[in-house]
C-alpha cells in the first residue's frame, strides 16, 4: 500500500512538472525587439544583427532578439514613446533626437563638431557620452552605448553644389529638431522636418528637393534613385544612441544585464568597423548608380563654417553652458 501511494504521488508530481515546465521555461525566456530606421544591410543594422547573435549565444537562447530595420515599427518619435511605455525593448537612433527629452543631447547635432571619427569615439565612449546617457534614466530610457551613423552630406535633385550659395533656395528634408532647422535656414535653404520613413516618397514626389545623410544611408535607402547630386560637405557627425526601455531593463537580472551590456560593447566595435570600411566603397557605388559627386573647396568650407557660428552660439545657450564647456574641454584635450 505504501509503495502504491509513493508511485501515485510520484506520478502526480511528474505530471504536474510536465505541465509546469513549459510555462517555467517560457517565463525565463525574454524577447528583445530592437528597432532602427535604416534599411537591412546598413552598418547600423549589421551592428544590431551582431548584437542579436551575441546575446542569444551568451544567454543560451534565453534572451532572443528580433531586429526590425527600415522603420518597420514606426518613426523614431513613436519608438521613443514605446520604449518609455515598455511596449518596445530596444532601439538605436540619432543621439540628437533625445534633445526633446534632455536638451543637452542637441550638442551632438552641432555642425562641424568632430574633426574625425577617432575624436567622436573618444568623446562618446568616455565620461562625456556616459554622462549624457545617464540623464535619460529619469525619462524611462537606459543608454548602453553608441553606434555611428557617420558624417553627413547633402543631396538634391536640382543642381550640383560646388559653393555655399548653391544650397540657397533648396527645400531640404531635415531630422525634426531645432538645430537642424536653423542650420539649413542659415544657408538660405528651406528646412522641411520629416520622419525618415517618409523621405523616399517625399523626394520621389518632389515635395522636397533634397536631404542630408551619410553615404551608407543614402545607398541603403536607395536615394540615388530619386537624387542626382551629392555634395560631400561633412557638415555633421551623428553618433547613434543604443537605448533600452528602463521598464524592461529593470526586469532583467544582474546576469542578464551583463550579457546585454557585453553584447552591446562587442557589437559597437564591429559596427564601427563595418561603417568605416564601407564608407569609401559605397561612394564609388553611388557614382556608378548615377549620382554626380562634388566636394567643396577649403575656401567654401570656411564660408560654410562661418555661416554656422550664429547657429552654434544660439544653441550653445539652449544646450547649457556646462555641457558645451565639458564638450569643448574634452575636444581641446584630445587635440593637444
Fold (CATH) for 29-335: D-Maltodextrin-Binding Protein; domain 2 (3.40.190)
Sheet holding 190-193, edge to edge: 190-193, 171-174, 210-213, 153-156, 229-232, 292-295
User: What is the rounded distance in angstroms from the CA atom of residue 318 to the CA atom of residue 54?
Assistant: 40
Q: Show Cβ contacts of residue 29 under 8 Å, excluding neighbours closer than 6 positions.
A: 61, 62, 63, 64
Please write the tens of the pLDDT for every residue from 147-172. 999 999 999 999 999 999 999 999 99
pLDDT of residue 19: 42
Taking each helix axis from N to C end, the angle separating 117-125 and 321-335, rounded to the nearest 10 degrees, works out to 130
Degrees to nearest 5, angle at CA 150 with 257 and 141 = 30
Positive or negative, the CA dihedral 119, 123, 124, 125 is positive
3-state SS track over the chain:
CHHHHHHHHHHHHHHHHHHHHHHHHHHHCEEEEEECCCCCCCHHHHHHHHHHHHHHHHCCCCEEEEEECCCCCCCHHHHHHHHHHCCCCEEEEEHHHHHHCCHHHHHHHCCCCCCCHHHHHHHHHCHHHHHHHHCCHHHCEEEEEEEEEEECEEEECCCCCCCHHHHCCCEEEECCCHHHHHHHHHCCCEEEECCHHHHHHHHHCCCCCEEEECHHHHHHCCHHHCCCEEEECCCCEEEEEEEEEHHHHHCCCHHHHHHHHHHHHHHHHHHHHHHHHHHHHHHHHHHHCCCEEEECCHHHHHHHHHHHHHHHHHHHHHHCHHHHHHHHHHHHHHHC
pLDDT of residue 5: 46
Residue with cell 528602463: 246
**Domain residue limits, the chain:** 29-335
What is the phi/psi pair of residue 236, to 5°? -150, 150
Please, what is the average pLDDT of the chain? 91
Positive or negative, the CA dihedral 297, 150, 194, 285 is positive
Name beta bridge partners: 276: none
pLDDT of residue 3: 53
Q: Are strands 90-94 and 30-35 parallel, antiparallel or unpaired?
A: parallel
Degrees to nearest 5, angle at CA 37 with 32 and 232 = 140
Residues in the chain, pLDDT under 70: 1-27
End-to-end CA distance of the chain: 88
Query: Are residues 272 and 208 in contact, defined by beta-carbon separation less than 8 angstroms?
Result: no
pLDDT of residue 336: 86
Amino acid at each position: 500500500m505504501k509503495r502504491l501511494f509513493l508511485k501515485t504521488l510520484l506520478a502526480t508530481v511528474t505530471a504536474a512538472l510536465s505541465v509546469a515546465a513549459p510555462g517555467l521555461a517560457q517565463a525565463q525566456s525574454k524577447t528583445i525587439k530592437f528597432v532602427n530606421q535604416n534599411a537591412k544591410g546598413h552598418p547600423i543594422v549589421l551592428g544590431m544583427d551582431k548584437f542579436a547573435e551575441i546575446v542569444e549565444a551568451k544567454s543560451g537562447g534565453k534572451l532572443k532578439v528580433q531586429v526590425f530595420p527600415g522603420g518597420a515599427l514606426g518613426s523614431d518619435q513613436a519608438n521613443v514613446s514605446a520604449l518609455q511605455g515598455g511596449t518596445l525593448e530596444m532601439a538605436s537612433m540619432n543621439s540628437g533626437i533625445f534633445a526633446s527629452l534632455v536638451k543637452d543631447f542637441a550638442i551632438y547635432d552641432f555642425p562641424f563638431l568632430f574633426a574625425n571619427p577617432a575624436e567622436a569615439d573618444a568623446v562618446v565612449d568616455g565620461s562625456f557620452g556616459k554622462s549624457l546617457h545617464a540623464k535619460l534614466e529619469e525619462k524611462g530610457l537606459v543608454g548602453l552605448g553608441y553606434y555611428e551613423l557617420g558624417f553627413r552630406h547633402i543631396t538634391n535633385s536640382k543642381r550640383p553644389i560646388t559653393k555655399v550659395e548653391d544650397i540657397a533656395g533648396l527645400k531640404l528634408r531635415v531630422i525634426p529638431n531645432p538645430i537642424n532647422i536653423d542650420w539649413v535656414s542659415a544657408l538660405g535653404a528651406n528646412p522641411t522636418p520629416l520622419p525618415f520613413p517618409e523621405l523616399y516618397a517625399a523626394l520621389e514626389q518632389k515635395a522636397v528637393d533634397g536631404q542630408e545623410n551619410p553615404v551608407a544611408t543614402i545607398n541603403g535607402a536607395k536615394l540615388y534613385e530619386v537624387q542626382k547630386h551629392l555634395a560631400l560637405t561633412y557638415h555633421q557627425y551623428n553618433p547613434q544612441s543604443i537605448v533600452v526601455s528602463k521598464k524592461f531593463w529593470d526586469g532583467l537580472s544582474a546576469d542578464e544585464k551583463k550579457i546585454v551590456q557585453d553584447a552591446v560593447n562587442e557589437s559597437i566595435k564591429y559596427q564601427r568597423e563595418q561603417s568605416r570600411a564601407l564608407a569609401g566603397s559605397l561612394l564609388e557605388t553611388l557614382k556608378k548608380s548615377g549620382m554626380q559627386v562634388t566636394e567643396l573647396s577649403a575656401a567654401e568650407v570656411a564660408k560654410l563654417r562661418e555661416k554656422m557660428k550664429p547657429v552654434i552660439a544660439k544653441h550653445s545657450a539652449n544646450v547649457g553652458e556646462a555641457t558645451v564647456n565639458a564638450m569643448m574641454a574634452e575636444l581641446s584635450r584630445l587635440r593637444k
